[in-house]
Amino acid sequence: MDLQFLRTSLLILFIALSGALIAQSLPGGNRQTVRGSVSDGDTRITLPGAIVTVVGSSPQIAATTDMDGRFTLNGVPTGRLDLKVRMIGYEEQVLANLLLTSAKELVVEVRLQESVTTLKEVEIKPTERRGEVRNDMAMVSGRRISVEETSRIAGGINDPARMVSTFPGVAGDPGGNNTIVVRGNSPKGVQWRLEGMEIPNPNHFADDGSSGGPINVLNSDMIDDSEFYTGAFAAEYGNVYSAVFDMRLRTGNDRKREYTLKAGVLGTDLTAEGPLPGVEGGSYLANYRYSTLALLDGAGIVDYDGVPKYTDAAFNVKLPTRGAGTFSLFGIGGRSNILAEDKGVQEDTLFSRVDFGSRMGVVGLTHTRTLGENSFLYSTVSLSGNGSSTDYRESPSPGELDIEPRHASDLSKWTVRATSTLNTRLNANHKLRSGLIVSTETFRMLSSSWDNDAERMETELDRTGSASTMQAFTSWKWRWNEQWTMTSGAHVLYYDLNKAVSVEPRLAFRYQMRPDQAFTLGAGLHSKTEALMTYLAQDIDAQGNVFQPNEKLGLTRAAHAVLGYERMLAEDLQLKVEAYYQYLYELPVENDPTSSYCNCNTVEWFTNRALVNKGLGFNRGLELSIEKFFTRGYHFMATASFSETKYQALDGVWHNARFNLGTVANVLAGKEWKLGAAKGKDRTITSGFRYSVQGGQYFTPIDLQASIAMGEEQEGSPVWSQKGAAIHKLDLVVSYRVGRPKVSHEFKADVQNVLNAQTAVGYFYNNRTQRIESYPQLAMLPVLQYTLRF
């Protein structure tokens, strides 16, 4: 045999075997591209020369950013990975637990912070802070939420609003909505934001004045990492006192077209993204979803009363320019409707019928432009609209066949909003951020309900008009050194409808005691307007004249203080503790010295009681969490909150507030198994569980005899004296993901309330049966979903 032939054959065999062994040793047999850009976090100027490395890759996979700050990593093994980004003069940043699939390129945007100390030998560099928010003006009570987290956490069902209920101090709605109670405050105090500005409640089947709903309008495939704040907010956040949900839309792939198709219990949707022809760096991202149950109902496959019908869509178009900055045109919107009839057990008598619908939408334009070497300006303008309509009819008395109107409403609002924020870095130690927010709200409000005494429909709301809100803020960040950081500032709010003004100072500190330990402190004043309907509600006086009892009602105000401690117990294990106190003042309470009514106990809608800003309240508590971040194929988190919430109305008595839940705790964990590559396939199984317990809400007992006599529910006494039973819930999630070159499949089951616990979460008077009845927590709900990416 020819010796040269033998040597060549052995070399080819060695190379083939080596390639096979390397492919087996790496996580999965498929490879994909990771791309992105690196810029200065304070100025948005792109950074050429930054080094981006796939942590732990062997041989090392790395790239250096070009003159436009862009980088490309080719041939990255699919699966989970960490990216490390380094550049001289900037703090090192690690993007942890990124999920790279065979069907989609991974595109990331990295923003580096300039290092206070450039001499490495004296620099005290803190340990990597996973979950840290991007907003460097926020020092306390903030958490970043990745879309990847919402997909693998049991009970999350791809909804960030449900994901946050695993955080300390946050309780979900046991009835099934994504409504959240944060530190004892009413859910209506939560503010939703998109692309840096306030937006209407982005949930389907949402009533006016509420902040939640059963299904989020914004699809998870459209969202980038979100940020969630629970107190002592940075100066840029105004018109809020409970919590801030700050969301961003991700940008589409600017080099290749990609698609995602999902079909499941909650909807069937398609997402498309890709480059814009003729626009360098430009991209589009669009999604459309329709109710799966409505599709099945239309096809005659399912047939039952009360099929929820909803549809939503979203888009984000990125338009970079050479000299005028970067523009983005975006929009979200959704409509929902349900028609339900109560025909009793025998289904031979129509007792009531309700036709309810809701709608919301936002379209906006953002503009980012660098100004010199140390500043950038971020501006937005948007038009949003939201509203709801209800037609409720019921039988006047048992046995009657006709149903008569009992409630009707049609509520609509349109808001034009403009914001502009200037960021300026004076040097590595000092940074300024200032902004203006102007909005004008045009409204049409109609609502009427049945009056038992008058035996007719009475108008509660009948107003059209407009109202403006003006806000301004400024904040200053001072990094004394690598250990001490301070932020301070103020927010000013003016509401044209009632001429209310609020000036709110803010202050926060962070002390990095050691690389793995830090103390935080934050304090500030905050305020919020009430739901527009509350100001516009009307009543009739003794002379029969129509008047608005709450037209001049002021703002609800709060003073927050938060003390925190963070410690990294290991490289991927973090302990966090926060103690907080919130002093609530000028709460809207009924203008009656014998009344205990406070608007702080409501979650939506409005009242036409005469209110005054003379109520007081407080929320205080302690929150603990220990989190093992997703490394080595698993993660876990345990959280506990201990709190007390009380208020005082004009009756002078301190009452338990409705949302004085007491103890809220969660334990969750997840594990990922790689089944290995087989014939070009990556196969992965992910499973997880979440067990949660939360104290029940307080409620006022119902006076049964008085309710029977009046034909409608009548409250007993003492108010807010009975506490509901603790709510226990176990959720499970399991998914199977298969990746092939350029395509991936995922089958997922997210089962809520696996044990089908049926604890009563509320009580009501049923006039038909003349009994007090309860409604339980959401029954076991399996959410099945199939995802195809290509």
Q: Is the pLDDT of residue 305 over 90?
A: no
Q: Map tokens 């037209």 to a residue.
A: 551
State yes or no: cis peptide before 718, omega within 30 of 0.
Answer: yes
What is the reported pLDDT for 724?
95
Which stretch of 117-121, 522-526, 622-626 has the lowest confidence by average pLDDT?
Answer: 117-121
What is the reported pLDDT for 307?
85
Q: Is the pLDDT of residue 126 over 80?
A: no
Tell me how many degrees the CA angle 773-778-783 measures, rounded to the nearest 5: 155
What is the reported pLDDT for 7?
38
Q: What number of CA atoms fall less than 13 Å from residue 780's CA on the CB side? A: 9
Q: Model confidence over 205-233: pLDDT tens digits? A: 998 888 899 999 988 899 998 899 999 99
More confident site: 284 or 400: 284
Q: Map tokens 């052995």 to a residue.
A: 10
With a CB cutoff of 8 Å and minimum separation 6, the contacts of 648 are 615, 616, 617, 654, 655
Dig out the tokens for 339 from the structure: 């028609």
Q: Is the pLDDT of residue 16 over 80?
A: no
**Rounded to an integer, what distance in angstroms lies between the CA atom of residue 445 and that of residue 536?**
8
**Rounded to an integer, what distance in angstroms lies between the CA atom of residue 363 and that of residue 385?**
9
What is the reported pLDDT for 398?
57
**Rounded to an integer, what distance in angstroms lies between the CA atom of residue 418 and that of residue 323?**
23
With a CB cutoff of 8 Å and minimum separation 6, the contacts of 451 are 457, 458
301 — pLDDT class (breaks 50, 70, 90) = confident
Mean pLDDT of the chain: 90
Q: Is the pLDDT of residue 284 over 60?
A: yes
**Rounded to an integer, what distance in angstroms lies between the CA atom of residue 638 and that of residue 623?**
11
Q: Is the pLDDT of residue 346 over 70?
A: no
400 — pLDDT class (breaks 50, 70, 90) = low
Q: Is the pLDDT of residue 598 over 60?
A: yes
With a CB cutoff of 8 Å and minimum separation 6, the contacts of 190 are 180, 182, 211, 212, 240, 242, 243, 244, 245
402 — pLDDT class (breaks 50, 70, 90) = confident
C-alpha distance from residue 66 to each of 33, 39, 46, 573, 660 (Å): 17, 12, 9, 35, 55
Mean pLDDT (whole number) for 191-207: 95
What is the reported pLDDT for 268?
94
What is the reported pLDDT for 276?
96
Q: Tell me the β-bridge partners of 467.
A: 441
What is the reported pLDDT for 436?
98
Mean pLDDT (whole number) for 729-737: 96
Q: Is the pLDDT of residue 191 over 80?
A: yes
Dig out the tokens for 696 from the structure: 């029940």
Q: Model confidence over 144-172: pLDDT tens digits? A: 988 888 888 998 888 888 889 999 999 99
Q: Exposed, middle or buried by CB within 10 Å (0-12, 13-18, 19+), for 56?
A: exposed
**Rounded to an integer, what distance in angstroms lies between the CA atom of residue 530 and that of residue 540?**
22
Which DSSP string do the residues of 188-253 spell out, in sequence order?
A: GGEEEEETTEE----EETPPTT-S--SEESS-GGGB--EEEE-SS--TT--S-SSEEEEE-BPPPP
What is the reported pLDDT for 395?
81
3 — pLDDT class (breaks 50, 70, 90) = very low
**Rounded to an integer, what distance in angstroms lies between the CA atom of residue 134 and that of residue 115?**
16
Q: Are 197 and 172 in contact (CB under 8 A)?
A: no
Q: Is the pLDDT of residue 2 over 60?
A: no
What is the reported pLDDT for 122?
38
3-class DSSP state of 18? helix
Q: Is the pLDDT of residue 785 over 80?
A: yes
Q: Are 165 and 171 in contact (CB under 8 A)?
A: yes
Q: Is the pLDDT of residue 26 over 70?
A: no
More confident site: 396 or 371: 371
What is the reported pLDDT for 17?
33
What is the reported pLDDT for 298?
77
What is the reported pLDDT for 347?
66
Q: Model confidence over 315-331: pLDDT tens digits? A: 999 999 988 999 999 99
Dig out the tokens for 398 from the structure: 């048992």
Q: Model confidence over 661-682: pLDDT tens digits? A: 999 999 999 999 988 666 668 8
**Rounded to an integer, what distance in angstroms lies between the CA atom of residue 602 and that of residue 170?**
17
Q: Is the pLDDT of residue 430 over 60?
A: yes
Q: Is the pLDDT of residue 124 over 90?
A: no
357 — pLDDT class (breaks 50, 70, 90) = very high
27 — pLDDT class (breaks 50, 70, 90) = very low
**Rounded to an integer, what distance in angstroms lies between the CA atom of residue 242 and that of residue 229?**
9
Tell me which residue of 620, 611, 512 sits closest to 560, measured CA to CA. Answer: 620
Tell me which residue of 42, 498, 493, 40 sits closest to 235, measured CA to CA. Answer: 493
What is the reported pLDDT for 442?
97
What is the reported pLDDT for 677?
61
Share of the chain above pLDDT 90, in %: 76
Dig out the tokens for 640 from the structure: 């506990």
Dig out the tokens for 503 from the structure: 């000036």
